[in-house]
């Protein structure tokens, strides 16, 4: 695998305002503000643990300056590439959102729904931007070998477009994925299969320990349970399903680290799969905060039926056709004497409806399982369930979703910063 670290540049004077007052920046060549320089330096320190093979960037100075700070920490020089330049907003450049909405009401409305087909007057479309940025990424990846890690520093429109392209998201997801300044989004690229997988999205822990917020709708902190003796990190992985396993020592340490991470958040309720490993993952936080853990069947692990308790090798030997289909087209698999992904999705959709109605403007924590969390993440990202293997969900990792104007937005995915230092 080649690891890609996708980074948005640091703050400029035009990144200070959100909403109708914010300006279309585009190819206006703005310098980093003092805060943006500081953000880039903090990001460079965060990336000290990664052996970067190269740092690529947009040729605009705010991206180059961010890249120079990050690359310098690794003894590298940034390599500007034209395909990573930001959106050409043409006649919109320099105008506020409110001004564009007044002068081009129909076009602006269409852009805020699906920006990809919109040809901006005097500029380009988001489709054109996505195509040139994706082509540039493929060219730079051709210079590298499996095991390399490369950083790409660009702009919000570019990072959003690349996230959509590399994750295979629908166009409408452009407005539902968050890309904060100097965030880290991680992807793995397999040259053999020519496939990208999502390791994490919009990690901003190095800039602020507080988890992101977007408006005041229901906010979900989705947690995968900590490690058990049947998880990959503990040895030979087995199909866990409804087997009621406890956390091992590593899982208990992960649960304590998660509790520390969550203590500053305004959490109103805790829901967990009824299985022990999920409830144990929330127990340290519940004990410290005084909150109660509510078991919910909507979060229970998938019923693997006759696969349950088998290693992957044993499942392949006993059920070769079903196992191969599970690894290649999981949406269509119903486990012998068990269930399928559609069953998991159905109960999760019911859970989402309940949460939105019961917890408006509140933050809730959900503790589930790898497949349950993958299905929920794919559902909220708009991905087909055959894509669950492209979305990574580590033990005790965090996902953050928020309901905004009736739609679920992805604010971060697979955040594991709180687990640093746990073997």
Q: Tell whether 257 and 198 lie within a shared domain.
A: no
- Tell me the pTM: 0.94
Residue 144 exposed, middle or buried by CB count within 10 Å (0-12, 13-18, 19+)? middle
Indicate if the pLDDT at residue 420 is higher than 90.
no
113 and 232, same domain (yes or no)? no
What letter would DSSP give residue 292?
P
Residue that finishes a domain, picked among 140, 169, 203 = 203
Establish if 213 belongs to a structural domain: no
Going by the DSSP 8-state scheme, the letter that residue 242 receives in this structure is T
pLDDT in tens, 87-100: 999 999 999 999 99
Angle, alpha carbons 28-31-151 (nearest 5°): 95
H helices present in 195-340, as ranges: 249-262, 276-289, 312-318, 320-328
Task: Say whether both 253 and 400 belong to one domain.
Answer: yes
CA distances in angstroms from 51 to 72, 149, 182, 318, listed in the order given: 13, 7, 18, 41
Q: Give helix 276-289 / helix 249-262 axis angle, nearest 10°.
A: 40
Closest by CA position to 389, among listed 341, 352, 335, 334: 341
The answer to whether residues 177 and 297 belong to one domain is no
> How confident is residue 20, by pLDDT bands cut at 50, 70 and 90?
low
pLDDT by residue (tens digit) across 258-279?
999 999 899 999 999 999 999 9
> In the beta sheet, which residues pair with residue 197?
188
Please check whether residue 209 lies inside any domain of the structure. no
pLDDT tens for each residue of 109-128: 999 999 999 999 999 999 99
Structural domain containing residue 70: 2-203
Confidence of residue 17 (pLDDT cuts 50, 70, 90): low
**Measured torsion, CA atoms of residues 241, 242, 246, 249, in degrees rounded to the nearest 10:** 0
d(CA 9, CA 18): 16
Do 99 and 234 lie in one domain? The reply is no
- Is it the case that residue 159 has pLDDT exceeding 90? yes
- Of 28-32, 115-119, 362-366, the range with the lowest mean pLDDT is 28-32
Domain membership of residue 210 (yes or no) is no
* CATH of residue 67: 3.40.50.1240
Please tell me the predicted confidence (pLDDT) of residue 96: 93
Q: Which residue has the tokens 């604010």?
A: 411
The C-alpha atoms of residue 415 and residue 393 are separated, in whole angstroms, by 9
Q: Which of 261, 199, 201 is nearest to 413 (CA)?
A: 201
* Strand partners for 96: 23
Tally of domains in the chain: 2
**Which of 135, 109, 107 has the alpha carbon at shortest distance from 120?**
107
Mark whether 84 and 224 lie in a shared domain. no
Q: What is the mean pLDDT of residues 227-234?
A: 92
Residue 348 lies in a domain: yes
Is 178 in contact with 36 (CB distance < 8 Å)? no
* Cβ atoms within 10 Å of 164's Cβ, excluding its own: 23
Bigger pLDDT: 80 vs 172: 80
Q: Are residues 64 and 26 in the same domain?
A: yes
Last residue of a domain, one of 151, 177, 203: 203
| pLDDT at residue 286 in the model | 97
Q: Which of 172, 203, 234 is the last residue of a domain?
A: 203
Which residues partner with 52 through β-bridges?
Answer: 149
Is 221 within 8 Å of 262 (Cβ atoms)?
Answer: yes
If you count them, how many residues does the chain have?
423
């Amino acid at each position: 695998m080649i690891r890609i670290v996708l980074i948005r540049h640091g703050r400029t004077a035009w990144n200070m305002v959100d909403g109708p007052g914010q300006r279309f920046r585009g190819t206006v060549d703005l310098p980093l503000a003092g805060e943006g320089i500081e953000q880039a330096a903090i990001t460079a320190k965060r990336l000290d643990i990664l052996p970067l093979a190269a740092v690529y960037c947009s040729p605009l100075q705010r991206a180059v300056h961010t890249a120079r700070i990050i690359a310098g920490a690794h003894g590298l020089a940034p390599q500007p590439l034209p395909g990573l330049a930001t959106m050409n907003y043409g006649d919109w450049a320099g105008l506020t959102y409110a001004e564009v909405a007044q002068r081009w009401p129909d076009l602006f409305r269409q852009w805020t729904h699906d920006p990809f087909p919109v040809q901006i007057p005097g500029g380009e479309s988001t489709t054109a931007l996505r195509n040139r940025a994706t082509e540039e990424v493929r060219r730079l990846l051709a210079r590298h070998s499996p095991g390399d890690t490369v950083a790409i520093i660009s702009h919000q429109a570019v990072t959003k477009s690349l996230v959509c392209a590399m994750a295979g998201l629908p166009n409408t997801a452009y407005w539902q994925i968050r890309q904060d300044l100097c965030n880290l989004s991680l992807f793995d690229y397999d040259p053999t299969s020519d496939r990208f997988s999502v390791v994490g999205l919009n990690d901003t822990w190095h800039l602020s320990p507080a988890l992101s917020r977007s408006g005041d709708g229901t906010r979900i902190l989705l947690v995968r349970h900590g490690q058990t003796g049947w998880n990959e990190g503990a040895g030979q992985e087995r199909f866990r399903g409804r087997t009621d396993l406890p956390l091992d020592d590593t899982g208990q340490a992960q649960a304590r680290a998660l509790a520390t991470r969550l203590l500053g958040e305004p959490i109103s309720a805790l829901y967990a799969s009824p299985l022990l490993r999920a409830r144990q993952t929330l127990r340290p936080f519940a004990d410290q905060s005084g909150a109660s853990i509510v078991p919910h069947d909507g979060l229970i692990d998938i019923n693997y039926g006759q696969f349950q308790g088998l290693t992957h090798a044993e499942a392949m030997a006993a059920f070769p056709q079903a196992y191969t289909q599970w690894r290649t087209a999981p949406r269509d698999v119903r486990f012998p004497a068990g269930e399928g992904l559609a069953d998991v999705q159905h109960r999760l959709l019911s859970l989402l409806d309940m949460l939105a109605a019961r917890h408006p403007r509140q933050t809730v924590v959900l503790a589930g399982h790898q497949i349950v969390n993958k299905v929920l993440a794919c559902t909220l990202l708009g991905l087909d369930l055959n894509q669950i293997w492209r979305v990574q969900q580590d033990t005790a990792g965090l996902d953050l979703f928020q309901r905004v104007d009736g739609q679920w937005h992805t604010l971060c995915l697979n955040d594991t910063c709180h687990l640093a230092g746990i073997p």
